[in-house]
């Protein structure tokens, strides 16, 4: 019971308690091999007994090395980003690197703030969602002098490296499948997010594919906030009241799609013969529904994994050949709600 003041312990305390120089204590605690077994044991015992926790701030300043990877994403409550995080964490697990998450709420100004905040901790790398950033953000990322991986999207030019899928192509593919299946009167429902560029690109690809088949979106509605499942239900009901002859509903995400699906099942609609549906994202949730919604997997976990692998490689073996653009291919599942063409 020697430590009465409420001061965090330092290397010096461990040094004094063990009778070994600070320098050697530091070596032991960093698992360096050039220390005798006897000394090592003495030190570890003292450190453990004192309850010493190293000060990474001092260590990082001295070594100019920080084992953090900044991960900057729009939202956590989305189902998609937790999956991406799973991929990232899995890869970083035993590399000595640690992910640190920042959330932007789809706001460029907040992204800028979060990025500034994170970069000021001098992380070893950055994984950031999307290719659209403010000029200031791009400048910061470039100036940081660390590996930067932009994820989710490949429709654009990366600052450094990118891993993702083409949302424009994904939208086109769904559009093509719908045209091929012979649906004619298409309704679209999605988030009212001018800042969700990936949703926008999917929609662009979608309308483009329909246009090629000589079809236009017959009705559309955008929402924001609230329970996505409930919104899907409400919007679907409203849209079909407004435009009863629709024979296909395309939803910008699976959650609202599931809401719509449940509603239509309740109504006893004949799916997919009389009316078809499709969502986007391949969320695990869908597997519990009575009928499988047609959807497209966004390769979320793999995107996380590949991005983290690039960061690790760039840090640990910077001279290797490391890819700078990875485009993954999402697969369309027809489920039970989309006729095959």
Partner DNA sequence: GTGAAAGCGCTAACAT
Partner DNA sequence: ATGTTAGCGCTTTCAC
The binding site for DNA (CB under 7 A) comprises 7-12, 20-24, 26-27, 29-30, 34-36, 38-39, 54-55, 58-59, 61-65
Residue 190 or 205 with smaller CB distance to a second copy: 190
107 binds, among a second copy, DNA, none (CB under 5 to 8 A by kind): none
Q: Is 142 exposed, middle or buried (0-12, 13-18, 19+ CB in 10 A)?
A: exposed
Nearest by Cα to 108 from 79, 82, 88, 128: 128
Nearest by Cα to 282 from 312, 254, 261: 254
152 binds, among DNA, a second copy, none (CB under 5 to 8 A by kind): none
Residue ranges in 72-101 that form contacts with a second copy under rule CB under 8 A: 76-77, 82-83, 85-86, 89, 98, 100-101
Q: How far is the CB of 126 from DNA (least distance, A)?
A: 19
- Which pairing describes strands 148-153 and 125-129: parallel, antiparallel, or unpaired? parallel
What tokens were used for 44? 């570890």
Q: How far is the CB of 164 from a second copy (least distance, A)?
A: 21
185 binds, among a second copy, DNA, none (CB under 5 to 8 A by kind): none
Per-position DSSP letters for 257-325, written without gaps between them: HHHHHHHHHHTT--TTTT-EEE-SB--GGGGGSSSPPBEEB--HHHHHHHHHHHHHHHHH-TTS---SE
Q: How many residues bind a second copy (CB under 8 A)?
A: 56
Residue ranges in 56-75 that form contacts with a second copy under rule CB under 8 A: 56-58, 60-61, 66
Percentage helix, strand, coil for the chain under 3-state DSSP, each rounded to 5: 45, 15, 40
332 — phi, psi (to 5°)?
-85, 125
Residue 187 or 232 with smaller CB distance to a second copy: 232
- Which pairing describes strands 332-333 and 295-296: parallel, antiparallel, or unpaired? antiparallel
Q: How far apart are CA 25 and CA 50, in angstroms?
A: 13
182 — phi, psi (to 5°)?
90, 10
SS3 249: strand
98 binds, among DNA, a second copy, none (CB under 5 to 8 A by kind): a second copy
Among 21, 41, 116, 211, binds a second copy (CB under 8 A): 116
Among 16, 112, 119, 184, binds a second copy (CB under 8 A): 119
Our finding on whether 245 is near a second copy (CB under 8 A) is: no
Q: How far is the CB of 215 from a second copy (least distance, A)?
A: 29
Q: How far is the CB of 42 from a second copy (least distance, A)?
A: 20
SS3 67: coil
SS3 185: coil
Q: How far is the CB of 312 from DNA (least distance, A)?
A: 19
Q: How far is the CB of 111 from a second copy (least distance, A)?
A: 15
Spatial contact of 131 and 140, defined as CB atoms under 8 Å apart:
no
With contacts defined by CB under 8 A, name the span among 36-44, 119-127, 168-176, 303-311 that binds a second copy.
119-127
Contacts with a second copy, residue ranges (CB under 8 A): 6-9, 51, 53-58, 60-61, 66, 76-77, 82-83, 85-86, 89, 98, 100-101, 103, 116-117, 119-122, 139-140, 143-145, 226-233, 258-259, 262-263, 266, 284-290
């Amino acid at each position: 019971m020697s430590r009465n003041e409420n001061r965090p312990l330092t290397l010096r305390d461990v040094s004094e308690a063990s009778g070994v120089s600070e320098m050697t204590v530091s070596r032991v605690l960093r698992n360096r091999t050039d220390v005798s077994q006897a000394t090592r044991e003495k030190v570890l015992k003292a450190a453990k007994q004192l309850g010493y926790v190293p000060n990474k701030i001092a260590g990082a300043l001295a070594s100019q090395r920080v084992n953090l990877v900044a991960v900057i994403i729009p939202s956590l409550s989305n189902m998609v980003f937790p999956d991406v995080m799973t991929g990232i964490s899995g890869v970083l697990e035993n590399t000595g690197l640690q992910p640190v998450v920042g959330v932007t709420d789809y706001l460029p100004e907040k992204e800028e703030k979060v990025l500034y905040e994170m970069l000021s901790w001098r992380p070893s790398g950055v994984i950031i969602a999307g290719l659209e950033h403010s000029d200031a953000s791009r400048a910061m990322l470039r100036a940081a002098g660390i590996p930067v991986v932009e994820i989710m999207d490949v429709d654009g030019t990366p600052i450094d490296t990118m891993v993702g899928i083409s949302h424009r192509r994904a939208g086109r593919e769904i559009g093509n499948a719908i045209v091929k299946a012979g649906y004619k009167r298409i309704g679209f429902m999605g988030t009212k997010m001018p800042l969700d560029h990936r949703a926008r690109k999917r929609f662009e690809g979608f309308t483009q594919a329909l246009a090629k088949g000589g079809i236009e979106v017959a009705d559309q509605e955008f929402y924001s906030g609230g329970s996505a499942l409930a919104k899907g239900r409400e919007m679907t009901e409203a849209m079909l009241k407004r435009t009863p002859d629709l024979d296909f509903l395309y939803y910008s995400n699976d959650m609202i799609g599931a809401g719509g699906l449940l509603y239509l099942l309740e109504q006893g609609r004949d799916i997919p013969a009389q009316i078809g549906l499709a969502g986007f994202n391949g969320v695990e949730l869908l597997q519990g529904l009575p009928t499988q919604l047609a959807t497209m997997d966004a390769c979320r976990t793999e995107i996380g994994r590949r991005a983290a692998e690039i960061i690790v490689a760039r840090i640990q073996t910077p001279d290797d050949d490391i890819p700078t653009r990875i485009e993954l291919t999402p697969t369309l599942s027809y489920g039970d709600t989309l006729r095959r063409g």
